Structure 1
Amino acid sequence: MTDKVRIALDAMGGDHGPEVVAPGAAIALSRKPDLNFLFVGDEARIRPLLDADPALRAVSEIQHTDVSVAMDDKPSVALRKGRYKSSMWLALEAVKARRVDAAISAGNTGALMAMSRLCVRMTPGVERPAIAAIWPTIRGESIVLDVGATIGADANQLVSFAVMGAAMARILFDIDRPTVGLLNIGVEEVKGVEQVKEAASLLREGDFPRLDFRGFVEGNDIGKGTVDVVVTEGFSGNIALKTAEGTAKQIGEYLRSAISRTLMSKIGYVLAKHAFDTLREKMDPRKVNGGVFLGLDGVVIKSHGGTDAEGFASAVELGYDMARYDLMEKIHQGFASVAPEPAAPALAGVAS
Structure 2
Amino acid sequence: MRIVIDAMGGDNAPDVVVTGALEAAKEWGDITLILVGDAAKIEPLISQAGGKPQNVEVVHAAEIIEADDEPVKAVRRKKDASMVVAGRMVHNREADAMISAGNTGALMTTGLLVVGRIKGIDRPALAPMIPSIDGKGMLALDLGANMDATAEQLLQYAIMGSIYRNKVHGIAKPRVGLLNVGTEAMKGNELTKAAYPLLEQAPIHFIGNVESRDVLRGPCDVLVCDGFAGNIMLKSVEGAASVIFSTLKTEFLRNFATKLAALVLKPGITRFRRSFDYTEHGAAPLLGINGLLLKSHGSSNATAIKNAVRQARIALQNDLVTSISTEISNGSEL
Considering the TM-score relative to the shorter chain, is it more than 0.5? yes
Of residues 46, 50, 58, the one that matches 1:62 is 58
Residue 236 (structure 2) aligns with: 243
Measure, in 2, the Cα distance between the counterparts of 1:24 and 1:10. 12
Which deviates more, 90-99 or 193-202? 193-202
* Paired residues of 1:29 and 1:56 also in contact (CA < 8 A): no
Letter in 2 for 1:201: P
Residue 190 (structure 2) aligns with: 194
Q: CA deviation at 1:201?
A: 0.6
Unaligned runs of 5+ in 1: 340-352
Residue 346 (structure 1) aligns with: none
* Percent of matched pairs sharing the same residue: 37
Q: CA deviation at 1:289?
A: 3.4
Q: What aligned pairs does 1:151-170 form with structure 2 within 5 A after superposition? A: 151-170=147-166
Deviations for 1:175-216, whole angstroms, at most 9, x for unmatched residues? 22211111111111121112212211112134x1xx201111
Of residues 258, 263, 285, the one that matches 1:292 is 285
- Mapped pair 1:44 → 2:40: yes
Residue 83 (structure 2) aligns with: 88
TM-score w.r.t. the length of structure 2 is 0.94
Letter in 2 for 1:298: G
Of residues 327, 331, 343, the one that matches 2:320 is 327
* Paired residues of 2:37 and 2:62 also in contact (CA < 8 A): yes
Q: Determine helix, strand or coil for the equivalent of 2:53.
A: helix
Q: CA deviation at 1:23?
A: 0.7
Letter in 2 for 1:103: M
Deviations for 1:86-135, whole angstroms, at most 9, x for unmatched residues? 11101011111111110011111111111210011000000011000111
TM-aligned CA distance change 1:159 to 1:55, over 3 Å: farther
Count of paired positions? 331
Q: CA deviation at 1:278?
A: 1.9
Q: What aligned pairs does 1:3-152 form with structure 2 within 5 A after superposition? A: 5-54=1-50, 57-82=53-78, 84-139=79-134, 140-152=136-148
- Mapped pair 1:259 → 2:252: yes
Of residues 211, 232, 241, the one that matches 1:218 is 211
Which deviates more, 276-285 or 184-193? 276-285
TM-aligned CA distance change 1:223 to 1:261, over 3 Å: same
Q: CA deviation at 1:306?
A: 1.4
Deviations for 1:138-182, whole angstroms, at most 9, x for unmatched residues? 222110000001111111000000000001110232122211111
- Mapped pair 1:305 → 2:298: yes
Residue 268 (structure 2) aligns with: 275
Q: Determine helix, strand or coil for the equivalent of 1:9.
A: strand
Unaligned runs of 5+ in 2: none
Residue 342 (structure 1) aligns with: none
Q: Determine helix, strand or coil for the equivalent of 1:37.
A: strand
Measure, in 2, the Cα distance between the counterparts of 1:66 and 1:107. 16
TM-aligned CA distance change 1:272 to 1:329, over 3 Å: same
TM-score w.r.t. the length of structure 1 is 0.90
Q: CA RMSD in A?
A: 1.6
* Paired residues of 1:51 and 1:57 also in contact (CA < 8 A): no
